[in-house]
Amino acid sequence: MTRDRKYYTDANRESWDEAADRHRAANQARLLQDVRNTDYNALDHFLIEALAVPGVAGKSVVQLCCNNAKDLLSVMRMGAARGVGVDASTAFIAQGEELVAAADLQDRMELIVSDVYELPDRLTGQFDIVLITVGVFGWMPDLPLFYRVIERLLKPGGYFVIEDMHPVLMMYEPGKNGAPSTLQWSYFKQDPWRDTEGLDYFEHKDYEGKPAYSFMFKLDDILMGGLGVGLALRHFKEIDVDISHFCQDLEHVDSKPPLGFTMVMEKPAQPIGGTE
């Protein structure tokens, strides 16, 4: 990092708040209809497979950086007993609250506006599952601290479930106007990207936006981050199809890089070295 953590999280919050109206226009009306269906599930089969490792029925789940909470709503429709969504963007949490109301799940769900690094103490040790979905790792200016947050949220015996972009994919730059994506960045890049072309992931239209900052983490950073706070690896799968809407053409090239991954890590049911 070249600046302190909060500089980046504040800048990214402002960038997401700015993008919220574009996301609302693209999909909120459809989602308000879809989430009323008790069979609603926006998750792909890779994430459903990962969630099957701990199982979700009757579980308490917190999703960090939940955006409009549509993925958390999917987990609730799969049978979770309690869902808490956290996002720094007030605008996206407002969209999520509309979806929760449309799904009539207000009694089992709570959405919180918070910097992920500054969560209220009342959430400590409350969850069977901590969930993150596509893109979250790349927004984290401090990965070791993020893992400490995750470990703090989990109950003993709880699980951290991840579906995200593969770090190798971050080496590519999307092509403009139909041009192919190109390999441009080092896998060992340390300084953050600064993007002012907006966060329109639906129509992929650039606009002059407030700066957003993203970060490169190698696969060993991600694996060792979890192991470093005492989590144990239970599942890992690399994905060869587009899950992120980033450099989508790479799904169809002959020399295809890994495009995503799922991972499940477990917090020990008792401290390492403890006794029954």
DSSP string, 100-157: HHHHT-TTTEEEEE--GGG--GGGTT-EEEEEE-TTTGGG-S-HHHHHHHHHHHEEEE
In a domain, 276, yes or no: no
In a domain, 271, yes or no: no
Instruction: Outline where DSSP puts E strands in the chain.
Output: 60-64, 82-87, 109-113, 127-132, 154-165, 172-173, 182-183, 193-195, 212-214, 232-239, 260-266
CATH number at residue 255: 3.40.50.150
User: How many domains are there within the chain?
Assistant: 1
Domain that holds residue 94: 5-266
In a domain, 275, yes or no: no
In a domain, 35, yes or no: yes
- Tens digit of pLDDT at every position of the chain (276 positions): 568 999 999 999 999 999 999 999 989 999 999 999 999 999 999 999 999 999 999 999 999 999 999 999 999 999 999 999 999 999 999 999 999 999 999 999 999 999 999 999 999 999 999 999 999 999 999 999 999 999 999 999 999 999 999 999 999 999 988 899 999 999 999 999 999 987 776 666 777 889 999 999 999 999 999 999 999 999 999 999 999 999 999 999 999 999 999 999 999 997 655 554
pTM, entire model: 0.95
In a domain, 176, yes or no: yes
Residue type, 15: S
In a domain, 72, yes or no: yes
In a domain, 132, yes or no: yes
